Structure 1
Amino acid sequence: MVKFAKFELPQYLHGNEDRATYVLAGSAAPSISLDELISLSSDRATTENALKFHSLKLPLGPVQGSLGLRRAIAALYQGQGQGHDQGEPGVPGSGPVSAPISADHVITTPGTTGANFLVLQGLLGAADHAICLYPTYPQLTGLVEAVAGQVSYWAPKPEDGWRPDLSELRGLIKPDGSTKVLVLNNPNNPTGWHFDRELQRQILDLAREKGLIVLADEIFRPLFATDITPPPSFIEHDDYTKVIVTGSLSKVWGMSGVRIGWVVCRDPAIIDLLVNARQYTVQSTGVIDEAIATEVLSDRCRPALLRRHLAYQHQDLALLDAFVETNKDLVSWTRPTAGATAFVKFSAPTREPLDDVAFCQALLDKKGVLLGPGSLCFGGNSPTDFRGYVRVHITKEPGVLQKALDLTSEFLEEYRSGQDK
């Protein structure tokens, strides 16, 4: 029997959110209704018609997902639909690939969690060694630990701005050839760091040299800060086929309740293996969900959604800049360059990190603000890993974040007063 480690992050969030007035521990863009989606569309009549389901027949559908949806997903990885310029087609810094991703390279799944489960369960076994970026979304480390025989952790340091060292990665690869998969999260959750084009290229060159499969959970793509050149997706480097990326509608597109995610890979053998594995677990991702997802990712709707959530990210980062500056005696961070989360450190006046779990519980009890304690939710390797760090959501509505940060500043002032006594 496969045993999974306790998934602390969602259990902490769901166990405390009912007590919170302001929930900053999450990471998904604010959810939207179908009526809101129609109102955001550049062609409301067409979108409204696409979302009429009364006459839609409800079969299982194609084994890899509907063709229209897979085409829309494929377009996200060839310089279309990922636009940093407020949602317009074209990605500065990436551009179209010479061998475009097609619908044949795509499999739909129940969210990115389903995609990651499918890939890691399908590829890894007890004889395999895997390398996982750390910190990362805990589902990734938990799955790897459950199914691989050996696991190593590629752990960037905050003093390096969370940028991992490629020489350390090379040193983690087993000389006996047992290392099979490198698991990445890009942009990273919780740090908000991302792999630039050059580091992607170096990783893929190393993967080719060693015969590794690279899995990149790219659920937060394309939420990039304004002052950086958006890099390509790992899948857009078309000279190495053993690359898999996963994504979904939840974090960027505000549709967490539409359980559509995806796997994208150029390698036909890997696609065949994953399609077979999918049929053991999920015969269909649901034609209604697929129809909604197709419309969300259409040229009519996608740009407006991305514009809105990039605006939230940019405004939220400015609010956090001010918060950190105001409280710099107790608060520090590496400013995120991408994604929907920041990893913020709270320290005592002595600069010793605070007990982040106790801090988060006290803040929730006294001010109604829920943050995600880093050591509990992301420090699975050791209870002291990421002590003092908390995850903060940076695609919240800015007005909500401002109120929560004001209350957190009040809490810190009360803490200072207590220290002075």
Structure 2
Amino acid sequence: MQQDLNNVSVVQDEELDIRSIIFKYLSYWRWFIVSIVFFTIVGFVYLKRQNNIYENNVIVLLKDENTATEEMLLLQDLGMSAGKNNIENEIALFKSPDLITKAVTSLELYTTYRKVTRWSFNDNELYGNAPLYIRWEDMEPKKIPAPVTFTFTPQGKGFEVSGQYENMPFHGRIDTLPVYLKLPMGRFYVSRNNEIDPAYKQEPYTFEATISNPSALARRLSAELKVTPSAKQSSVLTLSIQSEIKKKGRDFLQQLVNFYNEDATNDKNMVAHNTAVFIEERIKEISVELGTVEKQVEDFRQQKQITDIQAEAQLYLGQTGQNEQKRVEIETQLNLTRFVEDFIARPANANKLIPNLGVTDAGLVSVINEYNQLLLMKERLESSSSDSNPALIQMKQQVSGMRQSIQASLANVRRASEIALRDLN
């Protein structure tokens, strides 16, 4: 019985302790109310200062012109998986600062316009809808040394211009448009924007314009741009980026894809040019060989007093038939193989595309095409990154390995042709 009374006493003490704690903190109710109001205001101000962010996406289908052959399987056995590396290389190209800089420069995204509001609430970007257009004259965008910010404040029929450049303030005034604004850091062209969306046409307001180096902006966009394959080993890539203005994000992604396709077209034109050069060199060699052969034929006719060499040739070809035709085909392939071998062996051609015109071996043609595409990708990465770039280092190793594989394949094809030719002879 005594034990039960002790338990009841403990429960009553606990209830009293809890009650006393509650009453103790209720005495500070004013501070609780002040804190709730304060943090509500802070949250409201924070949200009002934040701009909406939109996700923009575009899907790209990579055309794969190569098919899996025995040579490709051999490369995979050597640790050079063509399919996977191609996807990784294309992703690296899309994120290349050089490619992104082209898109940024063509759309003039390096110049941003923002409406200035009281207390800096919702300073939304005015993409394509700013009252004025400004451009740095006599200065290539990629050579802009540091960002320059302008503030345009309406004054009567004109604008008061103020801002700073490298912590140096400047002031000016615009009364007529268009005008060339001369400032300490250079000359700027300012004109009225006549392509404003009707929704943005309102009473004059203060806005800012910032001109920065497109290469610096491209590096930031390269980090923000997401390029992911839709599935493992898939040739479909999804490009996505976040932006305050939907149209700006869409325009950037579309322009990026356009320049990517343009570079791919230029690569094909380069291949066609190298093929044309190869044909021209080969024609010159054949012309010299034909001139020598014709001279030998003329000497032979004079010595043997043959008057109708065409009839003799037809008789000879009729006797040899298909065997002779095969021999000519093998000789042609053998000469082409030797010519390509000689082309690769020249140090001056170490970074040139390998011609494969006339080569009939499907495996060899596929490997050469794969090598040429990889070499073009390497050159594009070299123009936009440093030698210490891990992707570039890996690509150089792939190029070197594939070149050695092509030399080995050419040697095998040449030996096989020589054996076949000896058998026919």
- Which has the greater radius of gyration? 2
Smaller-chain TM-score bracket: under 0.3
Superposition TM-score, scaled by structure 2 size:
0.21
Superposition TM-score, scaled by structure 1 size:
0.21
Bigger relative contact order (CA 8 A; separation at least 6): 1
User: Relative to total residues, which structure has the larger helix share, 1 or 2?
Assistant: 2
